[in-house]
């Protein structure tokens, strides 16, 4: 195929709330792909302006570039002190943008935000096909009236959505519950920057013992880690209680809690009350600092009472760690093979968590075996696979759009 006959790149718009450290590398890959001409529309810039995160409880900006390598547009800036009406008007700019630019498709992240619904309005007004990506799942029981309202709202919304970018099994089941056919689903697994974390592991592995000693852990202490916001939703107290039980049994097991938030003081007090040894609260760590945390760990636990996915599992698995999580963590269906690379337990079941960790703490061979399997599983959850899924989705929705246009005009399909 000559340059003159080569198909033009798909003109793709992405609409999402703000720059996120887990999305920026994917956007760079999409922008670098020869078949995609990308523009990302952000609702606001708070994550790059260094605003206060209400969950972490600290003011910070991510220390890896979130805007390099792709075209982006902010609908409003955090430096602008806007009232509620002006914030609404700023979000509403997406309608005009989509109508003027006439993209081949618009990729909308989440349906549950005002900006997302306005993007739907702009897409419908410009007859632009929508690719929807959302973290939604149906793992948690909900009240009947909530289920009814969601069904009434989502059935028509999904009816005007051309394609669905599926992040994992729980997400697929969510879409199928609302009648989305498999032919309209495209696998774009929830991923982190695998290459970056793999490089960090390689770089830091030889320093593991030295880093651990700075925290007071000798070689015979098995370190169980957690990483995330210290909020009630995460139920980190269950991990503390579990380690307390194991220490009372005489096992040399420590806990490494990475993150910050309003629950930190209570958790530290709980650890003191339980007289935990080998316990470190590391506080908030930026992305470039996480590798030195994961490399210290021997196993990883996510005890949350709810997680739509749980990308910290991806990160921990890239460091070759066994992983243990509750059944209400969305990623467990995809990333945890019970008895092969980790275990799944029920929310607040400290006994179940204790049994799982006891097995791992008592056997270095089991930890090594599980860790190797974790690394193999998570390699399939990559940005490269996301790009392939998005391209499949673009091909599907643009062909479908052309068929509709031809049918409406009475013209033969080319």
Q: Are 298 and 246 in contact (CB under 8 A)?
A: no
Q: Which domains does the chain have, with CATH numbers?
A: 10-191+382-409 (3.40.50.2000), 194-378 (3.40.50.2000)
The model's pLDDT over 303-351, given as tens digits with 9 standing for 90+, comes to 999 999 999 999 999 999 999 999 999 999 999 999 999 999 999 999 9
Give the span between the Cα atoms of 113 and 92, in whole angstroms.
Answer: 12
Q: pLDDT tier at 47 (50, 70, 90 boundaries)?
A: confident
Report the candidate in 189, 168, 220 with the shortest Cα–Cα distance to residue 330: 168
Q: Would the pLDDT of 32 be above 50?
A: yes
The pLDDT of 97-117, averaged and rounded, is: 96
Average pLDDT of the chain to the nearest whole number = 92
Report the candidate in 312, 314, 324, 331 with the shortest Cα–Cα distance to residue 354: 324
The model's pLDDT over 70-81, given as tens digits with 9 standing for 90+, comes to 999 999 887 666
The model's pLDDT over 343-377, given as tens digits with 9 standing for 90+, comes to 999 999 999 999 999 999 999 999 999 999 999 99
| Structure token pair of residue 388 | 């392939």
Q: Would the pLDDT of 69 be above 50?
A: yes
Other residues' Cβ atoms within 10 Å of the Cβ of residue 134: 19
Helix (H) or strand (E) holding 186: strand 185-187
Give the span between the Cα atoms of 16 and 6, in whole angstroms.
Answer: 30
The pLDDT of 217-242, averaged and rounded, is: 97
**pLDDT score at 54:** 58
Q: Would the pLDDT of 6 be above 70?
A: no
Q: Are 51 and 59 in contact (CB under 8 A)?
A: yes
Scanning 102-187, the segments in alpha helix (DSSP H) are: 114-125, 144-159, 169-177
**pLDDT score at 204:** 97
Of 51-65, 82-96, 185-199, where does the model show the most confidence? 185-199
Q: pLDDT tier at 51 (50, 70, 90 boundaries)?
A: low
Q: Would the pLDDT of 414 be above 50?
A: no
Q: Are 278 and 252 in contact (CB under 8 A)?
A: yes
Q: Would the pLDDT of 110 be above 70?
A: yes
The pLDDT of 135-151, averaged and rounded, is: 92
Q: Would the pLDDT of 405 be above 80?
A: no
The pLDDT of 138-167, averaged and rounded, is: 94
The pLDDT of 135-152, averaged and rounded, is: 92
**pLDDT score at 59:** 62
The pLDDT of 183-204, averaged and rounded, is: 97
Question: Tokens 């007090």 identify what position?
Answer: 269
The pLDDT > 70 percentage for the chain reads: 91
Q: Would the pLDDT of 56 be above 60?
A: no
**pLDDT score at 84:** 84
Report the candidate in 72, 316, 48 with the shortest Cα–Cα distance to residue 194: 316
Angle between helices 311-318 and 287-294 (to 10 degrees): 60
Give the span between the Cα atoms of 109 and 114, in whole angstroms.
Answer: 11
Q: Would the pLDDT of 91 be above 90?
A: yes
The pLDDT of 171-176, averaged and rounded, is: 97
**pLDDT score at 79:** 61
Question: Tokens 């000559």 identify what position?
Answer: 2
Q: Are 330 and 306 in contact (CB under 8 A)?
A: no
Residue 390 phi, psi (nearest 5): -65, -40
């Amino acid at each position: 195929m000559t340059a003159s006959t080569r198909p033009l790149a798909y003109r793709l718009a992405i609409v999402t709330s703000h720059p996120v450290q887990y999305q920026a590398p994917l956007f760079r890959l999409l922008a670098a792909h020869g078949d995609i001409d990308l523009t990302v529309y952000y609702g606001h810039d708070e994550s790059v302006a260094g605003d206060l995160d209400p969950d972490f409880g600290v003011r910070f900006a991510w220390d890896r570039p979130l805007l390099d390598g792709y075209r982006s547009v902010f609908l409003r800036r955090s430096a602008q002190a806007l009232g509620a009406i002006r914030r609404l008007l700023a979000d509403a700019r997406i309608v005009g943008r989509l109508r003027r630019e006439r993209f081949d498709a618009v990729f909308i992240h989440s349906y549950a935000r005002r900006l997302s619904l306005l993007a739907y309005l702009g897409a419908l007004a410009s007859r632009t096909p929508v690719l929807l990506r959302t973290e939604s799942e149906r793992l948690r029981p909900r009240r009947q009236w909530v289920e009814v309202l969601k069904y009434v709202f989502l059935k028509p919304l999904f009816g005007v959505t051309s394609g669905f970018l599926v992040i994992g099994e729980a997400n697929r089941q969510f879409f199928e519950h609302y009648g989305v056919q498999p032919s309209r689903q495209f696998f774009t697994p929830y991923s982190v920057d695998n290459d970056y974390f793999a490089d960090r592991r390689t770089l830091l592995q030889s320093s593991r013992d030295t880093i651990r000693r700075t925290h007071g852990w000798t070689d015979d202490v098995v370190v169980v880690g957690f990483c995330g916001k210290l909020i009630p939703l995460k139920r980190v107290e269950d991990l503390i209680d579990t380690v307390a039980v194991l220490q009372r049994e005489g096992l040399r097991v420590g806990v490494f809690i990475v993150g910050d938030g309003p629950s930190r003081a209570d958790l530290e007090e709980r650890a003191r009350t339980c007289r935990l040894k080998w316990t470190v609260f590391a506080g908030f760590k930026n992305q470039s600092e996480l590798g030195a945390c994961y490399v210290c760990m021997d196993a990883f636990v996510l005890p949350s009472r709810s997680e739509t996915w749980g990308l910290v599992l991806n990160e921990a698995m890239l460091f070759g760690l066994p992983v243990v999580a509750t059944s209400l963590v969305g990623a467990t269906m995809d990333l945890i093979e019970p008895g092969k690379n980790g275990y799944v337990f029920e929310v607040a079941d400290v006994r179940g968590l204790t049994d799982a960790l006891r097995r791992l703490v008592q056997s270095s061979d089991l930890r090594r075996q599980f860790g190797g399997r974790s690394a193999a599983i998570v390699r399939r959850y990559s940005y490269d696979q996301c790009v392939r899924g998005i391209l499949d989705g673009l091909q599907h929705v643009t062909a479908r759009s052309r068929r509709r246009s031809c049918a409406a005009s009475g013209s033969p399909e080319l």
